[in-house]
């Protein structure tokens, strides 16, 4: 069916589950459990040593393989030092903005909550602290041990008629869209769909080499890798301070900072959106990227980034559009359907 599908009451429940769970870099276990439970036993599973998750359904006679990839981890923070007044200085695991002061954070495994305090002294790098209500360094260490991980506190996902408000849409929205697409894919096709859910993206220390090895060793080498991410959207009424616009569809990215797709593949993606009536917008990104460059160049195959516009990305609260999220799921389906007829540039 062309055009956007109707909103269903339970359509966003998977994203709700994923966005609300704790899971900064190295602690992606809850997201792995949700994805594994949602896809069920008919899907094969590999979890690598650094918690990359690979999911696929056995498919005899396939001709091509498309990998859809998103990262599971959210922004986090770890204790750096314990101060005499009970504050904990933190080291971010990811790009936490310098303007998020006075937001609630939570630490695991103890479950202690605190207030995130950001100090900007005019230097290039802000300093981050947690006020957990401790009187001194010893009490703070007892409440939040050195091995703890912190993240923005849980925020329940809320729906309006057109938008979704919640936490960690980067990149739980990408993970959720891929899982939803895999669950609802019912078309007989010569193309195999594989979901790859990567760990530690926010730290920049992506465990890519073990992912290569696991996929090659298990005959899961891709012919195309599609990175499904979020991208910054406009954050003011003027609408001039973001790469994309919430509510105008999935973003077809012709270039990001890590990878430039082949022009013929860009046209292929644009034609899919146009032919199937999928709401979309276009952009090329000068700064910021996910894992696509390392994955596509490492496997030696074509890659392409799809992004969902997200307001207040990397902040405790984010906003995305239902239309954009649905368009992402439809693009995943249509790429899988159309890729068996795609004729890429052939190296001689």
pLDDT tens by residue, 310-333: 999 889 999 999 999 999 999 999
The pLDDT assigned to 298 comes to 86
Place of tokens 């899961």: 220
* Contact between 279 and 312 (Cβ < 8 Å): no
Cα–Cα distance between 326 and 4 in angstroms, integer?
7
- C-alpha pair distances (Å), 33 with each of 37, 40, 111: 6, 11, 19
Question: What single-letter DSSP state applies at residue 339?
Answer: G
Question: H-helix or E-strand containing 327?
Answer: helix 322-338
**What is the DSSP pairing of strand 158-159 with strand 113-119?**
unpaired
* Contact between 107 and 150 (Cβ < 8 Å): yes
The pLDDT assigned to 208 comes to 84
Question: What single-letter DSSP state applies at residue 291?
Answer: S
The pLDDT assigned to 307 comes to 92
Query: Residue 294 half-sphere exposure, CB side, CA atoms within 13 Å?
Result: 15
Q: Which of 138, 165, 157 is nearest to 83 (CA)?
A: 138
Spans of the chain below 50 pLDDT: 1-7, 9, 347-348
Q: Which of 32, 24, 123 is nearest to 75 (CA)?
A: 24
pTM score, whole prediction: 0.92
Q: Which of 83, 79, 64, 74 is nearest to 27 (CA)?
A: 74
What is the residue-wise DSSP string for 246-286?
TTS-EEEEEEBTTB---HHHHHHHHHHHHHTT--EEEEE-S
| 3-class state of residue 76 by DSSP | strand
Is the domain spanning 13-74+167-341 CATH 3.40.190.10? The answer is: no
Q: Which of 32, 44, 70, 95 is nearest to 215 (CA)?
A: 44
| Domain ranges across the chain | 13-74+167-341, 76-152
Q: Which residues contact 206 (CB under 8 A, 6 or more apart)?
A: 198, 199, 200, 291, 294
The pLDDT assigned to 60 comes to 85
Condensed to tens digits (0 to 9), the pLDDT of residues 218-236 reads: 999 999 999 999 988 887 6
Please tell me the CATH code under which domain 76-152 is placed: 2.40.30.40
The pLDDT assigned to 348 comes to 41
């Amino acid at each position: 069916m062309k055009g956007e599908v109707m909103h269903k009451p339970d359509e966003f429940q998977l994203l709700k589950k994923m966005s609300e769970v704790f899971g900064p870099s190295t602690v992606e276990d809850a997201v792995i459990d949700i994805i594994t439970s949602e896809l069920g036993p008919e899907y094969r599973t590999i979890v690598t040593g650094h918690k990359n998750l690979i999911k696929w359904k056995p498919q005899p006679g396939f001709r091509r393989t498309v990998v859809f990839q998103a990262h599971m981890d959210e922004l986090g923070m770890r204790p750096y030092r314990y101060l005499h007044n009970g504050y904990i200085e933190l080291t971010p695991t990811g790009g936490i903005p310098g303007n998020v002061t006075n937001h609630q954070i939570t630490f695991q495994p103890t479950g202690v909550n605190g207030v995130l305090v950001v100090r900007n002294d005019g230097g290039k790098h802000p300093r981050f602290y947690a006020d957990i209500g401790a009187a001194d360094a010893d009490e703070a260490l007892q409440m939040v041990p050195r091995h703890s991980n912190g993240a923005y506190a849980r925020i329940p996902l809320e729906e309006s008629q057109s938008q979704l408000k919640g936490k960690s849409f980067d990149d739980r929205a990408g993970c959720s869209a891929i899982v939803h697409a895999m669950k609802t894919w019912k078309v007989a096709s010569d193309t195999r769909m594989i979901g790859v859910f990567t760990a530690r993206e926010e730290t920049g220390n992506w465990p890519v080499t073990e992912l290569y090895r696991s996929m090659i060793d298990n005959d899961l080498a891709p012919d195309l890798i599609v990175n499904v991410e979020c991208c910054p959207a406009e954050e003011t009424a003027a609408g001039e301070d973001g790469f994309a616009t919430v509510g105008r569809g999935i973003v077809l990215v012709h270039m990001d900072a890590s990878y430039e797709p082949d022009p013929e593949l860009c046209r292929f993606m644009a034609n899919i959106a146009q032919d199937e009536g999928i709401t979309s917008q276009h952009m090329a990104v000068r700064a910021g990227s996910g894992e696509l460059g390392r994955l596509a160049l490492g496997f030696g195959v074509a890659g392409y980034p799809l992004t969902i516009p997200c307001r207040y990305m990397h902040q405790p609260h984010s906003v995305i559009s239902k239309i954009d999220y649905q368009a992402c799921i439809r693009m995943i389906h249509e790429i899988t359907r159309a890729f068996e007829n795609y004729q890429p540039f052939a190296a001689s």
